[in-house]
Amino acid sequence: TQLLEQSPQFLSIQEGENLTVYCNSSSVFSSLQWYRQEPGEGPVLLVTVVTGGEVKKLKRLTFQFGDARKDSSLHITAAQPGDTGLYLCAGVFNQAGTALIFGKGTTLSVSS
Amino acid sequence: NAGVTQTPKFQVLKTGQSMTLQCAQDMNHNSMYWYRQDPGMGLRLIYYSASEGTTDKGEVPNGYNVSRLNKREFSLRLESAAPSQTSVYFCASSEVWGWRLREQFFGPGTRLTVL
């Protein structure tokens, strides 16, 4: 079974702080997605990265895909209480797209 | 557009009982998925249907069966529920299935407790 690790598992910060969440594997991803999930709801897609070294920005969120396509990071600048939620990465490990794995998630709490 | 809908939202079963979780999408998507989410375990794929008429096992298929009734509907059946199947179940759909991950649209989830 492919293992996709996320860190940290929990993060509690004050409004205005910056943070980074990591998603790592010993295997190469064909592509990777980041989702955000609020309590009582299903996950919602934030971004998809496909190319090694790719950087995507979504307002205060910056997503980076490692050059070797084995890792990814999500950086939030000046966190706000509205950023609170569970952040999940999901990766595909083969060209057929049949090995879809979600990480266990990072629970972020931003207090004002 | 309702997106992905799931019924029921909550369910309590006794060990050994059976039930079917219903899922429907109105986005004309080809691929549909069933996941379970447990505390500290993230989302784990139970079964998926890459296209109408096909179904395949995911990471944790034991104890479950699925039916792709038509392009819109994908149901998950628990034939004999066990306490280990207590979880939140999510249905999702995407335009297509393939190595370039397509956006998955998730339903609101079904919270199942097996006593």
Rounded CA separation B59/B44 (Å): 6
User: Which among A65, A83, A82 has a CA at the least distance from the CA of A74?
Assistant: A65
CB distance B106–A104 less than 8 Å?
A: no
pLDDT at B23: 98
CB distance A102–B42 less than 8 Å?
A: yes
Residue in A1, A42, A101 closest to B90 by CB: A42
Per-position pLDDT tens, chain B of length 115: 789 999 999 999 999 999 999 999 999 999 999 999 998 788 999 999 988 999 999 889 999 999 999 999 999 999 999 999 999 999 999 887 766 667 889 999 999 999 9
pLDDT at A57: 96
User: Which among A51, A46, A24, A25 has a CA at the least distance from the CA of A35?
Assistant: A46
pLDDT at B2: 81
Low-confidence spans in chain A with pLDDT less than 50 = none
pLDDT at A31: 86
- Cβ-based contacts of B56 with chain A (< 8 Å): 98
Contact between A23 and A106 under an 8 Å Cβ cutoff? The reply is no
Q: Residue B85 in 3-state DSSP?
A: helix
- Cβ-based contacts of B35 with chain A (< 8 Å): 102
CB distance B103–A45 less than 8 Å?
A: yes
CB distance A100–B58 less than 8 Å?
A: yes
Give CA separation, B90 vs A19, A58, A63, B31, B76, in Å: 28, 26, 25, 14, 10
- Cβ-based contacts of A104 with chain B (< 8 Å): 40-42
CB of A105 within 8 Å of a chain B CB? The answer is: yes
CB of B45 within 8 Å of a chain A CB? The answer is: yes
Contact between A57 and A49 under an 8 Å Cβ cutoff? The reply is no
CB distance A105–B42 less than 8 Å?
A: yes
| Terminal Cα distance for chain A, rounded | 40
Rounded CA separation B99/A71 (Å): 17
CB distance A30–B100 less than 8 Å?
A: yes
Q: Which residues pair with A24 in a beta bridge?
A: A5, A71
pLDDT at A98: 58
CB distance A50–B103 less than 8 Å?
A: no
Interface-testing mutation among B99, B102, B105, B106, with chain A (most A C-beta atoms within 10 A): B99
